[in-house]
Amino acid sequence: MTSDPTTPPTVMHVDMDAFYASVEIRRRPELAGRPVVVGALGARGVVLSATHDVRAYGVHAGQPVGRARRLCPQAVYLPPDHDEYARVSDNVMAMLRSITPTVEPLSLDEAFLDLGGSLRRLGGDPVRVGEMIRARIADEQGITCSVGVAGTKFVAKLAGATVKPDGLCLVHDHEAVAFLHPLPVSRLWGVGERTEAVLTRLGLHTVGDIAHTPRATLCRALGQAAGRTLHALAWGRDERPVVPSEPERSMGHEETFPADVDDPEVVRRALLRLATRTGARLRAAGLAGRTVSIKVRFSDFTTLTRSKTLREATDVGREIYTTACALHAGLGLERARLRLVGVRMEHLVDGDRPRQMVLGERARGWAEVERAADAVRDRFGGQALAPASLLGGSSGRPPGTRG
């Protein structure tokens, strides 16, 4: 595909194809060509990612893993490795920012780019830029992506979705209406099951149907804001600019237990896992945090949070874990049944800032150990190295302690 002589559109949407599953296949080449599902495998687990061949069986993200197994029992089911996905995502986003500084990540696996200030330097053809991005991601990360290019964020995202997996689609401004109108109403942003049911009762099945319905009618049926928004989108109007991401204000992880937990040792091991992941993400991003926050959710879905601000910002998982355990102990939960725990670092700062040592503190310690572990994981994968107490058993002791 090549662009025509009209002014080329400059909004691009880049979306990794079946991201989590693709990363797993990359490091397990024997899975290539087989259906793969990634998700928490416990009783409450949900599908996080699935290869496109699995989706033909009705499997999709957010679906209970149990239902996915019934729909596609022949698939390979794998637990997620969030550290590895975050590392690959960071590499992809860094590559995109080397092309244009105007990158707006939507999640780990997709982002909008505005090529307006960079297109001339890149040769003037957004299709060539898109093909270069696809080639670099395939070469450098071993996964594929789909790219949509248009004059607005909305149309660019839909354009890329029409050529998944591993495709590229450009929609010029003068083509946007013809591209949009045959699509089902469910493709419009903001149209979920309930809204789609309302539109269906009105006899509106395609985007074109909505475009040719008076806006006042849509507003009466859906409310003023939704009615106006859907009518504008149906004509390809979307004024939102691509906004470069701001530095993260917080960073953390949560874990939902397969069954409610009342064993403090199991909770402490979960806190250790979460603190270790959070510390690794902070270091990878060149950040540190001053405030450690924990979240606990009980079996009745009641949720509590507690936080503590440290004397010095840290990116060390051991320090985050120690503080998280103290916060958990301070709740006095004893044998309360927990459904979820989370660890989060807030008040983030530059991780390279000098750190004031405490009198009597060793000059080298856990920070150096964890950075060495980062290097091992970068080379051999996210699960190559972990604290000993997470490798099996039920002691729940942090690394470095003795029984």
Residues at the binding site for Mg(2+) are: 15, 109
Catalytic residue among 110, 175, 319, 370: 110
Cβ proximity of 270 and 309 under 8 Å: no
280 SS3 class = helix
Alpha carbons 152 and 139: distance in angstroms, whole number: 28
Tokens representing residue 382 in the block: 């996210």
What is the side-by-side strand order in the sheet with 47-50? 47-50, 36-39, 76-78
Minimal CA–CA distance to 129: which of 305, 253, 9?
9
**Token pair 């750190």 in the structure block, residue:** 355
**Gap between the Cα atoms of 228 and 216, Å rounded:** 8
Dist CA 323 CA 171 (whole Å): 52
Residue 403 is encoded by which pair of tokens? 């029984």
- Taking each helix axis from N to C end, the angle separating 82-99 and 264-284, rounded to the nearest 10 degrees, works out to 20
Binding-site positions: 15, 109
Known catalytic membership, residue 110: yes
Q: Which residues make Cβ contacts (< 8 Å) with residue 104, sequence separation at least 6?
A: 111, 112, 113, 242, 243, 244, 245
Peptide bond preceding 241 in cis form (omega within 30 of 0)? no
CA angle 32, 40, 293 (to 5 degrees): 125
Report d(CA 89, CA 263) in Å as an integer. 34
Q: Is the peptide bond before 165 cis (omega within 30 degrees of 0)?
A: yes
Catalytic residues: 110
